[in-house]
């Protein structure tokens, strides 16, 4: 089975963004996925993002732009423009270790070094990183090689728009809560996670799938997004199971809880989270439906 976690990591997790860049150009087709959620006379709009970007992703389509402009609250997984020191502390606590990835065998170390050279990353800069964090750096680098930039991430774009307009930005999670999830993997599992990342990049599988998810988001392609969900659900590799059971199914109930609480307080807010949380049998929209809320997929 394909190692979905390696390629889809950026669309699930938000931790390595650079400065948000405002871009206004080009046409305005639908992007990602958009849902309308209703309960007790209140409405919430739920938008699926991707945690990397490209300049031609923007501006977002007029209907969504209007919803965002009029929303009393923008809810994100985390606010990439919030306290950067808090984010740095989380990285230090959960992603840095004196051992780093020293347990890699000489063969895997050689393969890693080839990739670091390919991405112009000095080995000493990643030496203290735990395997999971190093794997994520490689993933971000491969997305960059395919033309997708973390500094142009949709979450960062939305956060900048909201902050510039003086709107309230609500965090549904925290850097600590996200990164602590990796403590669920043993050191041996983290090492496998890193090895799968390296192998996925070497065999070009990651490059193909990076384009696949970015294009599905770019065109709001329902069939392609649903196909990605099926692949993730059927992936029986260690990293695939971790993605499905921990990063998706493990987080979706709390994300849904946060949206229900927000709806009780505010009307016409927008919640924007990774698009993979919005597709599949255990998705946030399905959880909201099971709780009795009315959920309509707009696109």
pLDDT digits (tens, 9 = 90+) for 12-66: 455 444 444 454 445 589 999 999 999 999 999 999 999 889 999 999 999 999 9
Confidence of residue 208 (pLDDT cuts 50, 70, 90): confident
pLDDT value at 105 more than 50: yes
Question: Looking at the 3D structure of the chain, how many domains does it have?
Answer: 1
pLDDT at res. 13: 55
- Residue 83: its pLDDT value, please? 84
- The model's pTM is 0.89
Phi-psi domain of 26 (left: phi exceeds 0; alpha: psi -120 through 50; beta: other)? left
In this prediction, residues 179-197 reach a mean pLDDT of 94
Tokens representing 197 are 């990342």
Instruction: Please give the Cα distance from 261 to 263 (Å, whole number).
Output: 5
Q: Work out the percent of the chain whose per-residue pLDDT is above 70.
A: 91
CA atoms of 229 and 280, how far apart (whole Å): 5
pLDDT band for 277, please (50, 70, 90 cuts).
very high
Planar angle of CA 91, 93, 96, nearest 5 degrees: 70
Residue span of the structural domain in which 146 resides: 4-297
């Amino acid at each position: 089975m394909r190692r979905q976690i390696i390629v889809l990591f950026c669309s699930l997790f938000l931790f390595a963004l650079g400065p948000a860049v405002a871009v206004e150009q080009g046409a305005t087709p639908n992007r990602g996925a958009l849902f309308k959620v209703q309960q007790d006379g209140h409405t919430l709009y739920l938008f699926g993002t991707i945690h990397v970007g490209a300049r031609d992703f923007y501006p977002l389509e007029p209907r969504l732009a209007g919803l965002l402009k009029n929303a009393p609250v923008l809810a994100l997984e985390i606010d990439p423009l919030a306290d950067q020191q808090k984010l740095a502390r989380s990285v230090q606590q959960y992603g840095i270790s004196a051992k780093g990835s020293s347990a890699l065998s000489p063969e895997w170390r050689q393969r890693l070094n080839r990739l670091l050279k390919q991405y112009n990353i000095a080995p000493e800069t990643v030496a203290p990183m735990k395997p999971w964090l190093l794997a994520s750096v490689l993933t971000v680098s491969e997305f960059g090689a395919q033309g997708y930039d973390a500094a142009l991430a949709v979450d960062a774009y939305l956060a900048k728009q909201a902050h510039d307009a003086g709107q309230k930005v609500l965090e549904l999670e925290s850097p600590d809560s996200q990164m602590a999830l990796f403590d669920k993997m043993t050191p041996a599992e983290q090492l496998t996670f890193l090895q799968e990342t390296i192998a996925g990049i070497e065999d070009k599988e990651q490059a193909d799938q990076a384009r696949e998810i970015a294009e599905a988001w770019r065109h709001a392609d329902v069939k392609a997004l649903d196909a990605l969900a099926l692949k993730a659900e059927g992936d029986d590799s260690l990293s695939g199971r971790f993605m499905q059971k921990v990063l998706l199914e493990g987080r979706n109930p709390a994300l849904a809880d946060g949206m229900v609480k927000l709806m009780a307080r505010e009307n016409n807010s927008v919640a924007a989270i990774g698009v993979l949380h919005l597709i599949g049998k255990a998705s946030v929209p399905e959880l909201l439906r099971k709780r009795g809320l009315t959920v309509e997929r707009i696109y």
